[in-house]
Amino acid sequence: MKVELAELAPMLEVKSKATAELLTKVAADQAEAEIVKKTVAAEERDVKKMAGEIQVVADEAQADLEEALPAMNAAIDSLKALNKNDITEIKSFPKPPPLVQMTMEAVCILKQEKPDWDTAKKVLGDSNFMHSLQEFDKDNIPEGVIRKLRRYIDDPAYQPESVAKQSRAAMSLCMWTRAMDVYYRVSKVVEPKKAKLRAAQAALSDANAKLAEKQAMLKQVEDRVVNLREQLATAQQEQKDLNDQADLTRKRLDRAGKL
């Protein structure tokens, strides 16, 4: 039994040292995990705040855009109601009424064509004419085109109700030209907000990427701590078992010595 006790002593010393080292390592990694956790929590708050601010900008831009939608939708619906006979009616004027002439000049300007009646009839004769208006690239109208169009838009006589008295079909085209002007004006207000939104979204994407890296780092540290705690628990149990075995051996030696 003395031999057994002598053999247990160095084993206990080694196990005690290993357990102490594990305790130190667990404490260090736990401290690191707490630091990373605080950093992640702070960045999560920042990202959440940034996302909220971006939503405000997005909502503002959408609200501004919606200002143009009623006129746009009404104009498109009115265009869809037109048929070939309506277009033929406009083309059939040998000398169009003044407001019909104005309407077609405005249409030609938006399509970047010469604003005269001969050109207008050619534009109306295009089999793709109605589709070209419905699918018009309203987001890229040149400023110079809008400047020319404004001479018509600003004319008090150039109103859909007035145009309708001379031609119901031309009224729809008048509505469309005015809708394009409204959309352009609104888009000029919205564009800076869209640019701000794009920049903010890019910043948010970058912040989310960095946050994901920190979250992954935190998980690695926390997983390491869990693993070390498991190792520590095993080491402590092994140390306890050795201590118990040594105590039991000493007690047996004591009893043997008393016999």
pLDDT of residue 249: 67
Task: Please report, for residues 24, 132, 220, 232, 240, the alpha-carbon distance to residue 226 in angstroms, rounded to integers and kept in the order given.
Answer: 14, 65, 10, 10, 21
Query: Is the pLDDT confidence value at 1 over 60?
Result: no
Query: Percentage of the chain with pLDDT > 90?
Result: 45
Write the burial class of residue 109 (CB in 10 Å: 0-12 exposed, 13-18 middle, 19+ buried). buried
State the pTM of this model: 0.61
Q: What is the pLDDT of residues 101-145, one digit of tens each?
A: 999 999 999 999 999 999 999 999 998 999 999 899 998 999 999
Query: Percentage of the chain with pLDDT > 70?
Result: 92
pLDDT of residue 246: 65
Is the four-CA dihedral 209, 215, 216, 217 of positive or negative sign? Answer: positive
Q: What is the CATH number of domain 2-252?
A: 1.20.920.60
Q: Which of 187, 119, 118 is nearest to 110 (CA)?
A: 119
Q: What is the pLDDT of residues 19-39, one digit of tens each?
A: 888 888 888 988 988 898 899
End-to-end CA distance of the chain: 15
Taking phi first (over 0 means left), then psi (-120 to 50 degrees means alpha), and beta for anything else, what does residue 112 get?
A: left
Phi, psi of 115, deg, nearest 5: -85, 70
Q: Could you tell me the two tokens for 46?
A: 């920042």
Domain positions in the chain? 2-252
Count of C-beta atoms within a 10 Å radius of residue 172: 25
